[in-house]
Amino acid sequence: MRQCRHARNSFVLKFTVLLSTISFMIAATARAANVEVGKGPFFLPSGPATKIVTVSRTGEAQASITVLTEAVAVKETGPRATIKKFGEVYAFSPAFFTVHREQPTQIEFWNLQPDDEHDFALVAPDLTVLMYVKLPPLSKTSYIFTFHREGEIDFKCLRHQPEMSGQILVLPPVKQGA
Ligand SMILES: [Cu+2]
């Protein structure tokens, strides 16, 4: 019996350590840009961030991508055992896609959940948050992105970390006339 309680305590301890590690990681990410999770400030890239990516609300795009917010396990529909163990779980779908450098690309986010706020943070390799915007429940939110640097760039919903994360791979520019 004592051993059982010990095992449970040890699990609780590990879980607490895991939770505080996750909150620390989120806080560290957010601290880089002075962002409070879910509270903002909400902003598009400005200053040095525009050397990596420029973003506008409207404009002409040469490519487009739709990104859904997927409910993997939520309290309304379960599975209950999963939620008990992991809490509610969400994901971006797709969580990985490619764009071309210097090609204006519309990315439209569909928040499919009727009562869950999501957000979108583009995070540079040095953990600087380059932009941070809300993705309100049951709505489409769209921006035109033009990336200026090739390579990988991370994106996250800061409310649902670590699972609601993805990567964009910025490929070389499309050759004209190809
Ligand atoms: Cu989210």
Residue 51 sits in a domain whose CATH number is 2.60.40.420
- Are 156 and 123 contacting, i.e. CB atoms less than 8 angstroms apart? yes
- Residue in the block written with tokens 């910025």: 170
Position 160 in a domain: yes
Distance 142 CA to ligand 1 centre (A): 16
Mean pLDDT of the chain: 88
Give per-residue pLDDT as tens, 38-53. Answer: 999 999 999 999 999 9
Structural domain count, the chain: 1
Predicted pLDDT of residue 26:
58
The range of the structural domain enclosing residue 45 comes to 2-171
- Are 101 and 148 contacting, i.e. CB atoms less than 8 angstroms apart? yes
pTM for the model:
0.82
Position 178 in a domain: no
Residue 75 has pLDDT above 80, yes or no: yes
Position 177 in a domain: no
What separation in angstroms does the CA of 52 have from each of 22, 141, 147, 169, 177?
27, 21, 6, 13, 26
Distance 94 CA to ligand 1 centre (A): 14
- Are 113 and 75 contacting, i.e. CB atoms less than 8 angstroms apart? no
Give per-residue pLDDT as tens, 118-137. Answer: 999 999 988 899 999 999 99
Distance 158 CA to ligand 1 centre (A): 7
Distance 131 CA to ligand 1 centre (A): 15
Predicted pLDDT of residue 136:
98
In terms of pLDDT, which residue wins out, 127 or 148? 148
Position 176 in a domain: no
